[in-house]
Structure 1
Amino acid sequence: MPDQESQTSTDAAPDVLAEATAAIERHELWVARDLLAGHVREERDLEALRLLGEVHHGMGDLPAAGAVWFGAGVKGPEVDAAVRAWRASHGDDFGAMWRSLPRSVRQEPRSKKVEALRAKALEARSAGESTPDPAGSAASSGGGIDAAQIIAWVIAAFVIVCAVVGLIQILRWMVPGG
C-alpha cells in the first residue's frame, strides 16, 4: 500500500497549487498563503515554495518571502531584496533564521545553503549567542530557570501528593478496624 500513499501525496500537490493559483486570481492572497504554507510544512515542494514566496511578496511580507525563497533556492533581484529583509528582520540571528524556514526545508536532505545556515545556527548556539535549539526542537540550551517548567513540576508534585492521600483514605475505608 505505500504506493497508494505516495500517489496520494503526489496528487495533493497539483490540487494545492491549483487551489492556491485560483485564490491568487480571486485576489485572496491570505487563502493562497494558508494553503501553501500548510502544504510546504509537510512536503518539500519547490514549486509550492516558490509560489508561497510570491504570495508573501505580494502581501508585502518581504522577510517571509525571503525565508521561503531562500529555502527553495530561488534566484533573482526581488529574491535578493527579500532575503536581505529576512536577514535584517532577524538581526542576522542564525538560530532565528533557521527556525523561520518551513519545516520541510529544514528536514534532510537539505540544500547546501540551508545546511550552511543550520551549521551557523548550531555554531552560534554553542557559542551562547542563541538559546533555542536550531535543530527545531523545543529544548533550550540552559542558562536560566524556566518558570513554566517550575510551575509544571509543582503541579505534578501536588497531583502526586493528592493521589497518595486519596489512596491512603481508600485503604482506610477498605481495611476493617483501621
Structure 2
Amino acid sequence: MTALDRARGDIAQGRLWMARQRLTSYLVESPDDEVIALLAQVHLEMGDLPAAGALLFVLGRDDEVAREAIAAWRTFRGGPAAQWRSIPRRVRMVSTAPQVAQLRVEAGEPRRWHGDRAPQECYTAGWRERAGDIGCGLTMVLVTSWCLFLMLWGAWSFSQWVLH
C-alpha cells in the first residue's frame, strides 16, 4: 500500500489531518501532480484556502474553486517573495510550470540550475555556495581543538604547580 493509498484511506475515514501529514511527507519524495492535487483537495476540505491556493497555483488550475483559493493565498501571503516561500520547497525545486517560473522571477529568487538539465537533476549547490559551509565547519574544528588544547595545558600546569 502506497502513501497515496493510505492518504486516500485517511480521507475516506475523515482523518484529514492524517492525510495532510502523509501527503506533506510524501511530497518531499514524489512532488508529482497527483500528490499535489490530492494535498490541495485535503486543504480545501479542511478549509485552508491559502494552503490549497498555493498548490492549485502550481497545478495551474483555473476553475471557480481554484480562483477563490488562489486569491485567498495571494491575499494571505502578500507579495511575491512570501508567496514563493509558501510553496513547498521540493515543489518549487522541480516545477517547470510557467506560472511558478514567473513567480520565482517576481520574488527575485535566482535560478539554481543551468542549461537543459531538469531542475531536480541539478539543484545542488556548487562548490562556491558550499565554501561557506566548509569554512564554518573548519572554524568549529579549530576552535574546539584550541579549547581542548588550553584545557589540557591548564590541567598539566596546575598539576605541576600542585606537585612542586
Question: Same fold per TM (> 0.5)?
Answer: yes
8 A Cα contact 1:67 1:86, kept in partner: yes
CA-based RMSD of the aligned residues comes to 3.2
- Give the secondary-structure state (helix, strand or coil) at the position aligned to 2:2: helix
The CA distance in 1 between the partners of 2:24 and 2:12, in whole Å, is: 18
Match of 1:90 in 2: 77
Q: Name the residue aligned to 2:150.
A: 165
* Cα displacement (A) at 1:96: 1.1
CA deviations on 1:37-78 (whole Å, 9 max, x unpaired) are 111133221011111111101100000000111122233110
4+ residue stretches of structure 1 with deviation over 6 A?
158-161
| Structure 2 counterpart of 1:116 | 102
Residue 20 of structure 1 is matched in structure 2 by 7
Matches within 5 A, 1:4-83: 15-83=2-70
Q: SS state of the match for residue 107, structure 1? A: helix
Give the gaps of 5 or more residues in structure 1. Answer: 1-13, 124-134, 136-157
Relative to structure 1, the CA distance from residue 109 to residue 69 in structure 2 (aligned partners, 3 Å threshold; closer, same or farther) is: closer
Residue equivalent to 2:92 = 106
Q: Are the aligned partners of 1:29 and 1:55 in contact in 2 as well (CA < 8 Å)?
A: yes
Q: How many residues align?
A: 133
1:86 deviates by 0.3
Question: How high is the sequence identity, in percent, across the aligned residues?
Answer: 36
Alpha-carbon distance in 1 for matches of 2:95, 2:63: 24
Shifted more, 19-28 versus 109-118: the winner is: 109-118
TM-score by length of 1: 0.64
Q: Does the aligned pair in 2 maintain the 1:50–1:74 contact within 8 Å?
A: no
| Offset, 1:164 | 4.8
TM-score, structure 2 normalization: 0.69
Q: Which runs of 5+ in 2 are unaligned?
A: 110-122, 124-142
How far 1:87 sits from its partner (Å)? 0.4
Q: Distance in 2 between matches of 1:43 and 1:29?
A: 20
Task: Report if aligned partners of 1:66, 1:86 keep a CA contact under 8 Å in 2.
Answer: yes
Greater share of residues in helix: 2
Are 2:77 and 2:86, in contact at CA under 8 Å, matched by a contact in 1? no
Q: Measure, in 1, the Cα distance between the counterparts of 2:145 and 2:4.
A: 51
